[in-house]
Amino acid sequence: MTDTTVAGSPADVENDSKLPSHQARGDGSPDTWLYPEAWIDELKGIADLSAETVRQILAVAWEYTRCVIPVYTNSSRYLAFCRVIIVGIVAKFNGSLVDILAGDTVLGYNLNELFDTLFAQCPHRDALAQDYRTFIIATAEKTSNRQDSELFRRYVNALAESPKTWFRIRDADAIMRFSLAAALACNDIDNLMFTEEQFQILGEIGCTMYDAVAFYKHRAEGETNDTFAYVPSSLRQEAYRRAREVLWALDVAWADYPGHLPIVNFIRSFGGPIHMMMGRYRFVEDGLTIGKPETEDVISQTRRKFKLWNRVDSGRECGPDEARYCEVIRQSGRLLFDGLADLLQRQEPGRERCDRCRYRMSYGAERSGEFGGVELCDECREGWRFYIESLPQRAAAAFPELHGTQLRLG
């Protein structure tokens, strides 16, 4: 797995008769997709994916995996993680190809077997599998133009219920705890696991940092899932600094425990550097900068799936689908992380909420420069501000070892 070769050279791209015409390239030059030769059969025979798109997906999966889990000792688990990432990347731009409501076999992979391989020694195997399926089912809803579905409407309403709820759902949405457990498994570290409170803190650190950096990408996508669509966006810098500080404090506290290194390595890369290292982001296209406000051009490219991004515009209608929502609830023990079904069930039409916040029947961005989810009023946003400002204290309560560091708790 470590010998990379050029599996998709520029010449291959030019000769590819299946090249979709909508694949605009940012700088007019052909991209090169790099991944191991051994991956040649991955996604083989998926009729809805062109050879060009498959190459791009595999390269993104390779780059992401190598960034967030840079070293490993267990190659079969590592390959299993790569494959769940491949499925995830497809879900991020074309949810119609990953309908896990019907079962665990998608895109030629059996997810259940991949989870068995990854988490053979992990007592949390089933819970982590639920987290992953939550990510797929919600993301696929968003990327298959089902913005007004019963499931998606309730899901987006739930995102805005409270900061604690938000970070738990975002944790699953970013498959944070799943991937952190995978990072340990890939390094044969089977005797370290975190409590629910600890996982929540690790997820909050990673997602705060990632979302602060990905703010304009997410806005170009009309995302519903960015922390700063709910936390006042003026707090991005401060929130990033604070989360980064807590991460470094954990790194210092764990300095003598090499077994914790996969955790810090994962969050450190996920929280920012991947935006420079992965071709999926616009670092090169934007003149070696990160965090450039989106333009109409970028939004238009996003609608065309450039870099496998996905634009969620409002106004799509998929028609009545109460039955699908009920089926998801019926299968919630398999498809949703514990507690999410109750949360969704609470989001009934007509539920009493703050009347200054803007809840909608159908989500997605209505115009450029806006996110696609619930718009909280200024007063409600203040509550979110207090929550994220308390991260260091909450982190120290979950990880007592932080008291032995110089982390500022006041």
Q: Looking at beta carbons only, is 193 or 380 nearer to Zn ion?
A: 380
Q: How many residues bind Zn ion (CB under 5 A)?
A: 5
Taking each helix axis from N to C terminus, what angle separates 111-118 and 75-93, rounded to the nearest 10 degrees?
140
Q: Looking at beta carbons only, is 136 or 374 nearer to Zn ion?
A: 374
Taking each helix axis from N to C terminus, what angle separates 150-159 and 125-142, rounded to the nearest 10 degrees?
110
Q: Looking at beta carbons only, is 308 or 357 nearer to Zn ion?
A: 357
Q: Looking at beta carbons only, is 127 or 357 nearer to Zn ion?
A: 357
Site string for Zn ion, 304-343 (x = CB under 5 A): ----------------------------------------
* Site for Zn ion contains 356 (CB under 5 A): yes
Question: Quick check: 112 and 129 in contact, CB under 8 A?
Answer: yes
**Strand locations in 24-148, DSSP E?**
33-36, 105-106, 109-110
Q: Where are the alpha helices (DSSP H) in 259-295?
A: 261-270, 274-277
Which residue's Cβ lies closest to Zn ion?
354
Q: Choose one: 100-108, 148-156, 287-295, 375-383; the region binding Zn ion (CB under 5 A).
A: 375-383
Q: Choose one: 72-80, 147-155, 234-242, 370-378; the region binding Zn ion (CB under 5 A).
A: 370-378
Q: Choose one: 11-19, 146-154, 376-384, 388-396; the region binding Zn ion (CB under 5 A).
A: 376-384
Query: What is the C-alpha separation between 66 and 70, in angstroms, rounded?
Result: 5
Q: Which of 266, 119, 274, 253 is nearest to 202 (CA)?
A: 266
Q: Looking at beta carbons only, is 14 or 378 nearer to Zn ion?
A: 378
Residue 361 CB, nearest distance to Zn ion (Å)?
A: 18
By CB under 5 A, name the one of 276, 380, 397, 398 that touches Zn ion.
Answer: 380
Count helices and strands (H / E) in the chain: 19, 4
Q: Choose one: 143-151, 156-164, 253-261, 379-387; the region binding Zn ion (CB under 5 A).
A: 379-387
Contacts of 365 (CB under 8 A, 6+ apart): 219, 222, 311, 312, 313, 314, 371, 372
64 token code pair: 């992401």
Burial of 127 (0-12, 13-18, 19+ CB in 10 A): middle
* Site for Zn ion contains 354 (CB under 5 A): yes
* Site for Zn ion contains 377 (CB under 5 A): yes
Q: What are phi and psi of 265, to 5 degrees?
A: -60, -40
Q: Choose one: 17-25, 292-300, 353-361, 400-408; the region binding Zn ion (CB under 5 A).
A: 353-361
Contacts of 134 (CB under 8 A, 6+ apart): 169, 172, 173, 335, 336, 337, 340
Residue 218 CB, nearest distance to Zn ion (Å)?
A: 21
Question: Quick check: 267 and 395 in contact, CB under 8 A?
Answer: no
Q: Choose one: 62-70, 247-255, 257-265, 351-359; the region binding Zn ion (CB under 5 A).
A: 351-359
Residue 352 CB, nearest distance to Zn ion (Å)?
A: 12
Q: Looking at beta carbons only, is 354 or 409 nearer to Zn ion?
A: 354
* Site for Zn ion contains 358 (CB under 5 A): no
By CB under 5 A, name the one of 357, 387, 393, 394 that touches Zn ion.
Answer: 357
Query: What is the C-alpha separation between 300 and 26, in angstroms, rounded?
Result: 12
Q: Which of 58, 63, 35 is nearest to 46 (CA)?
A: 58
Residues that bind Zn ion (CB under 5 A): 354, 356-357, 377, 380
